[in-house]
């Protein structure tokens, strides 16, 4: 390992093929002996260019803040006892998800924590760099996994923090190893790790959210992940909402999600999005997607409005009324209603039924709501004016007044 131009090495007991030195006041640098490169390894290197391109082009590297993770995770603690947690888009030396679960490993009663790092992921600092034998001036960031099965305060300071990482990895019950297929969550080796997990918690690439959620559903994993809330309108993801296989979590404070971005990322965001002083970007269209049950999901919306033809016009092309705000849902209307996507944040499956949506491939019930003679059904129309896309819902227990 290089520190201030010198090579310093120390044996880490868990990995005989690795040498490492960790200094909590500097970057973490790990040099490994050259692995055997197989044809499969080379094939995945080529295939993985597509993921790299997507991550670069779509600016998918957003690092979730610890306070946001703590605020959301506090509502799910009972789900984690005795479980294996996988963070499969997370470098342990960058990710606050890893830090959170390492810090709370014993409090949560975890069985195992697995983290995987993506090959070439941009770093923010305190990073783990890998150099395969030639000791060039530019070490390469490679994919690896960390498996934690025991966390002890071995340095005796009364807490588990980054200073304890060295001790964690020296424990024979913990392990670090390279990934041969570059950490792509779709790779065979990462899927095998997914099969071991009970719950997946991470912030996956936003541009691959549909595919990422699809994989979690395919392998029937529990999950709590960060994503763009607008992705809920995707026909595949929206279908999961309709069938109560996925729902939103508690959400970010006041609806504002702040993320750290890689230091080398050129901040070309719109005014008010990127803060040069904090190095954070702010998005209002992010939320937590999950299939872990929580109390908020069962809170009823307090409906105080009453239906009238003047206040709730019927669409030109759908036999449903327009409700522009979730808070304006009438308590006494039994028919179909069009509500904004923000309704999903308040959706209680005991109180409402989701019929479908207007902008993606519709269900048979939504098609039955179409008013014949109108030529367009992509969005609802009122007096010939095209409105925003709407989720169509029905109140399961309308009041009889």
Tell me the pLDDT band of 240, cut-offs 50, 70 and 90. very high
End-to-end CA distance of the chain: 76
Mean pLDDT for the stretch of residues 36-54 = 39
Whether the pLDDT of residue 121 is over 70: the answer is no
Task: Say if pTM beats, i.e. exceeds, 0.85.
Answer: no
Lowest-pLDDT range of 55-59, 69-73, 113-117: 55-59
Is the CB of residue 131 less than 8 Å from the CB of residue 32? yes
Whether the pLDDT of residue 157 is over 80: the answer is no
The mean pLDDT value of the chain amounts to 79
How many residues belong to the chain? 401
Whether the pLDDT of residue 222 is over 90: the answer is yes
Whether the pLDDT of residue 231 is over 70: the answer is yes
Percent of the chain scored above 70 by pLDDT? 73
Distance CA 349, CA 211 (A): 25
Tell me the pLDDT band of 269, cut-offs 50, 70 and 90. confident
The pLDDT tens digits of the residues spanning 301-322 come to 999 999 999 999 999 999 999 9
Mean pLDDT for the stretch of residues 110-117 = 93
Whether the pLDDT of residue 125 is over 50: the answer is no
Task: Tally helices (H) and strands (E) across the chain.
Answer: 9, 23
Mean pLDDT for the stretch of residues 150-155 = 75
Percent of the chain scored above 90 by pLDDT? 52
Q: How high is the pLDDT of residue 350?
A: 97
Task: For residue 233, give both structure tokens.
Answer: 């309108």
Lowest-pLDDT range of 13-27, 332-346, 354-368: 13-27
Tell me the pLDDT band of 362, cut-offs 50, 70 and 90. confident
Helix (H/G/I), strand (E/B), else coil: 318:
strand
Contacts of 295 (CB under 8 A, 6+ apart): 75
Q: In Å, how far from its chain's centre is CA 267? A: 22
Q: How high is the pLDDT of residue 49?
A: 39
CA proximity to 355, closest of 340, 372, 338, 333: 338
Task: For residue 237, give both structure tokens.
Answer: 């993801």
DSSP secondary structure letters along 121-157: ----SS-EEEEESS--SSPBP--EEEEES----TT-S
Burial of 198 per CB tally in 10 Å (0-12, 13-18, 19+): middle
Q: How high is the pLDDT of residue 301?
A: 97
Q: In Å, how far from its chain's centre is CA 249? A: 11
Crossing angle for the helix pair 235-242 and 209-218, to the nearest 10 degrees: 40
Helix (H/G/I), strand (E/B), else coil: 398:
coil
Q: How high is the pLDDT of residue 359?
A: 79
Q: How high is the pLDDT of residue 44?
A: 37
Distance CA 293, CA 57 (A): 35
Task: For residue 382, give both structure tokens.
Answer: 């009122």
Tell me the pLDDT band of 123, cut-offs 50, 70 and 90. very low
């Amino acid at each position: 390992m290089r520190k201030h131009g010198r090579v310093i090495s120390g044996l880490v007991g868990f990995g005989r093929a690795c040498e490492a030195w960790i200094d909590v006041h500097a970057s973490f640098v790990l040099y490994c002996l050259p692995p055997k490169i197989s044809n499969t390894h080379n094939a995945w290197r080529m295939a993985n260019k597509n993921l790299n391109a997507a991550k670069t082009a779509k600016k998918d590297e957003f690092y979730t803040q610890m306070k946001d993770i703590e605020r959301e995770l506090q509502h799910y603690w009972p789900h984690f006892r005795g479980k294996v947690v996988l963070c499969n888009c997370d470098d342990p030396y960058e990710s606050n998800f890893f830090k959170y679960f390492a810090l709370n490993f014993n409090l949560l009663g975890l069985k195992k924590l697995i983290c995987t790092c993506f090959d070439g992921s941009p770093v923010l600092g305190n990073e783990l760099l890998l150099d395969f034998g030639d000791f060039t001036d530019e070490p390469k960031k490679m994919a690896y996994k960390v498996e934690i099965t025991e966390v002890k305060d071995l340095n005796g300071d009364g807490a588990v923090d980054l200073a304890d990482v060295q001790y964690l990895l020296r424990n024979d019950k913990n392990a670090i190893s390279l990934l041969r297929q570059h950490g792509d969550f779709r790779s065979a080796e990462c899927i095998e790790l997914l099969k071991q997990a009970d719950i997946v918690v991470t912030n996956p690439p936003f541009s691959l959210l549909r595919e990422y959620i699809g994989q979690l559903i395919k392998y029937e994993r529990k999950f709590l992940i960060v994503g763009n809330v607008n992705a809920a309108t995707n026909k595949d993801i929206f279908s999961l909402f309709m069938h109560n296989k996925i729902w939103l979590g508690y959400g970010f404070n006041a609806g504002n999600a702040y993320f750290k971005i890689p230091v080398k990322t050129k901040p070309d965001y719109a005014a008010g999005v990127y803060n040069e002083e904090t190095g954070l970007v702010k998005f209002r269209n992010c939320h937590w997607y999950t299939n872990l049950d929580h109390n908020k999901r069962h809170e009823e919306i307090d409906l105080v409005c009453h239906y009238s033809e003047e206040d709730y016009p019927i669409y030109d092309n759908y036999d449903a009324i327009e409700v522009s705000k979730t808070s304006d849902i009438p308590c006494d209307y039994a028919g179909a209603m069009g509500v904004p996507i923000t309704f999903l944040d308040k959706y209680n499956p005991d109180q409402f039924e989701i019929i479908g949506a207007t902008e993606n491939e519709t269900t048979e019930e939504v098609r039955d709501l179409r008013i014949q003679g109108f030529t367009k059904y992509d969005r609802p129309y009122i007096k010939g004016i095209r409105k925003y896309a709407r989720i169509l819902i029905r109140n399961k227990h309308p009041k009889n007044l």
